[in-house]
Amino acid sequence: MILSMVGMPIKDRKAERREATKAEILDAAWDLVREQGLGGLNLRDVAARIGMRAPSLYEYFASKHAIYDAMFAQGYRQFAAVIAEAEELSGEDGLRAVSHRAMAFMVEDPARYQLLFHRTIPGFTPSPQSYALSVQQLDRTRAWFDRNGFAAPGALDLFTSLIGGLAGQQIANEPGGDHWVRLADAAVDMFLSYITAAGGTARHTRERTRS
Amino acid sequence: MILSMVGMPIKDRKAERREATKAEILDAAWDLVREQGLGGLNLRDVAARIGMRAPSLYEYFASKHAIYDAMFAQGYRQFAAVIAEAEELSGEDGLRAVSHRAMAFMVEDPARYQLLFHRTIPGFTPSPQSYALSVQQLDRTRAWFDRNGFAAPGALDLFTSLIGGLAGQQIANEPGGDHWVRLADAAVDMFLSYITAAGGTARHTRERTRS
DNA sequence: GTCTATATGTGGATAGAC
DNA sequence: GTCTATCCACATATAGAC
């Protein structure tokens, strides 16, 4: 809005159309990675799916990696929205809500899970702007953990590994199923009893050297 | 050895040479996926690395996927050997040893981690023989869990998700580092206190419906 | 802004000489 | 058993007409 100038219409129809087309391209790209796997994305198919030819895409994205980057950013905005709702709750209820929503978000789209939470595309690194979205999301959840007393060192990393690990196994071993998804509550039980144990603070920070 | 027949030398020099070359090819392939990522493997580079041309590889492997398949099998044999040593111990010591060795095995080679524990190569599925190796490995650890009293439903899946999840985060966020690796002991503490809690058996099998 | 045509490159796989 | 030569399919990206 700051960029709009005197004498120009507030709503730039051209820019709007352009954004709509970019969104169409991204939708088609998501469809394709869901069908062919994250690495199977190719520009011809993306273009064909919206009635275009591959070269036309370059009017909207500078490269294939730029499309991946936009998908990465879009995915993290979706993730942020999903988690933000759950983080309106607090305490145990909040943690369970976050767990369920994060788990559902991950397993419902394996390709998106790979793009957002693993480094699986050779040569692709998210741009600083897109990467910042992931950092901000983690910061928000860190703050929520602090506000809710889940403040032990390593607690957040342990929790994200736990949920992400269950989702990863679900996706790798039984995509579309729910065997590991159903373990989410047990995982939260385990995490909660560990993190809220009296005198537990020293226990999980202690360095160990055995075996 | 059963296949050797009367009048034939026990050691078939030709077959030995052949196996040696196949091993050379696999070594080169491992080098390449470590350098270029699992998906970056290509036959020309593999061949060049051992002083061959790409077509010669077809004398030893029927396709690129066959190479991936042999790598998959080889990786699980290595994994089995590493875990078997740790499973000579028992109880908490054994569990810690398994955790440390599994974690080290996973993070020391991200490409191998991806190949063995995730489905990341479009179109590749391990052959039944190779897949059986992964099933057998899980069965052995399941038996070890039973022998050692970690028998609660879901315990094994929770444990593998926990260790695999930590390794995955380590690899995705800080390859070569040890931030998540150092959380392995805390994770085992958490798992042990959950699994050995008095009356805990009912708790972690209980179905939950909240949020 | 979209197209056709094409440059340019890669990579798996096969044929057939040696 | 290894090679050269090549096929074929595919894919990113660019040039330039419309």
DSSP character at residue B120: -
- Choose among B36, B166, B172: nearest Cβ to A119: B172
**pTM for the structure as a whole:** 0.91
User: In chain A, where are the structural domains located?
Assistant: 12-61, 65-199
CA of B48 to C1' of D2 (A): 13
Domain A12-61 has CATH 1.10.10.60: yes
CATH of B65-199, one of 1.10.630.10, 1.10.357.10, 1.10.3720.10, 3.40.630.10: 1.10.357.10
Average pLDDT over residues A80-91: 98
B70 touches strand C (CB under 7 A): no
pLDDT digit string, tens, across residues B33-88 = 999 999 999 999 999 999 999 999 999 999 999 999 999 999 999 999 999 999 99
Residue B20: exposed, middle, or buried by beta-carbon count in 10 A (0-12, 13-18, 19+)? exposed
A53 touches strand C (CB under 7 A): yes
- Chain B partners within 8 Å of A179 (Cβ): 157
| Covered bases, chain D (protein CB within 7 Å) | 1-5, 10-16
A49 touches strand D (CB under 7 A): no
Q: Is A45 left (phi over 0), alpha (psi -120 to 50) or beta?
A: alpha
The residue type found at A95 is: L
Spatial neighbors of A98 by CB under 8 A, at least 6 apart, are A83, A86, A87, A141, A144
pLDDT digit string, tens, across residues B152-174 = 989 999 999 999 999 999 999 99
Give strand letter and number of the nucleotide nearest A21 (CA to C1').
C1
Average pLDDT over residues A45-58: 96
- Chain B partners within 8 Å of A206 (Cβ): 185
CATH superfamily name and code, B11-61: Homeodomain-like (1.10.10.60)
Give strand letter and number of the nucleotide nearest B46 (CA to C1').
C11
